[in-house]
Amino acid sequence: MASTIPWEWLHTLLGVLREGSLSGAARALGLTQPTVGRHIAALEALLAQPLFTRSPAGLLPTEAALALRGHAEQMEAAAAALQRAASGGARGEVSGTVRVTASEVIGVEVLAPVFAGLRERHPGLVLELVLSNQLQDLLHREADIAVRMTPPEQGQLVARRVGAVALGLHAHPDYLDRHGRPASMAELRRHTLIGFDTETPFIRTVGKRLGGLGREHFALRSDSDLAALALVRAGAGIGFCQVALARREPQLERVLAQDFAWQMDTWIAMHEDLRHSAPCRAVFDALVDALTRHTT
């Protein structure tokens, strides 16, 4: 294949993969349906193979389309990173767009006021916050800066450990007044427990520290940390909460502090190419300051 694939064709391919139809992709991308159809037809002609088959449920991707998806998503992330870099002001000026990724709880409970402060100090700064417990790829610039609970392994990242976030078991005092305060791990099993729906290696490790508790012991399950925290705050049962957050809220009471405590190392990382970017540096330093205080 001698021809270079135009980026707009791959962008359209991603739209169809995500929306499942030409019309849906057209709406999502701000294009006309005939334009989307032409892009897909041209891409199929260039590759000399079909990318979609029609079905009652919509367009189904072929193996060729699925094989292209990861590469197209990397190009999409790189294009977004290029746009963020191009939006920056003069050298040394704290303006432009910075994309930050963090876990749900850290993003909502810790980073929101940090972002508010950054905007007050730097009105030209545009901040994007991606809340996800999945690790965003900094090397492919899916985000500029990441707050992570595991040490970054890629050598091309600038990373700083800011401390450890302590995790403990907590409940609303109203729940504990109604059902009693567990005095042991054995008594904990008789309570309404709030936990995770999908088991991961981390969850299994935490479960072992809790005397072998697993998914089947949780009466209330969610893979959203924010949802689980909301259930704890509502007095629905006993669940996990960051100790630093619970200290700020008198309606959260820690239980079995001597029996269960979990320390999660916390890191802030960004691509080394961004170390001299004034907006990225300003955001990085603000996150280090806030999370250092959060972990102490």
Superfamily of domain 86-162+273-295: Periplasmic binding protein-like II (3.40.190.10)
CB 218 within 8 A of CB 193: yes
What pLDDT is stored for residue 169 in this prediction?
96
pLDDT at residue 90 above 60?
Answer: no
What pLDDT is stored for residue 91 in this prediction?
57
pLDDT at residue 138 above 70?
Answer: no
Strands 220-221 and 194-195: parallel
Which conformational region is residue 165 in: left (phi greater than 0), alpha (psi within -120 to 50 degrees), or beta? beta
User: Rounded mean pLDDT of 104-119?
Assistant: 94
- Rounded Cα gap, residues 207 and 75, in angstroms: 39
pLDDT at residue 136 above 70?
Answer: no
- Rounded Cα gap, residues 80 and 42, in angstroms: 24
7-78 matches 165-264 in fold = no
pLDDT at residue 285 above 70?
Answer: yes
Cα of 251 vs its chain's centroid, Å: 27
CB 82 within 8 A of CB 49: no
pTM of the model: 0.68
Q: 235-245 in b/e burial notation, b at 16+ Cβ within 10 A?
A: bbbbbbbbbbb
What pLDDT is stored for residue 162 in this prediction?
94
Cβ neighbours of residue 20 closer than 8 Å, sequence gap 6 or more:
57, 58, 59
Q: Using 50, 70 and 90 to split pLDDT, how confident is the model at 127? A: very high
Higher pLDDT, 279 or 204: 279
User: Rounded mean pLDDT of 101-122?
Assistant: 93
What interhelical angle do 63-86 and 7-19 show, nearest 10?
120
Helix (H, G, I), strand (E, B) or coil at 214: coil
Cβ neighbours of residue 94 closer than 8 Å, sequence gap 6 or more:
121, 122, 124, 125, 278, 279, 282
What pLDDT is stored for residue 207 in this prediction?
76
What pLDDT is stored for residue 16 in this prediction?
93
* Architecture of the domain spanning 7-78: Orthogonal Bundle (1.10)
% of the chain residues with pLDDT over 90: 56
What pLDDT is stored for residue 87 in this prediction?
62
What pLDDT is stored for residue 4 in this prediction?
81
Q: Kindly list the domain boundaries of the chain, sorted by start residue.
A: 7-78, 86-162+273-295, 165-264
Size (the chain), residues: 296
pLDDT digits (tens, 9 = 90+) for 48-81: 999 999 888 788 999 999 999 988 888 887 777 6
What pLDDT is stored for residue 1 in this prediction?
53
Exposed, middle or buried by CB within 10 Å (0-12, 13-18, 19+), for 54?
exposed
% of the chain residues with pLDDT over 70: 91
CATH (residue range 165-264): 3.40.190.10
Helix (H, G, I), strand (E, B) or coil at 112: helix
pLDDT at residue 88 above 80?
Answer: no
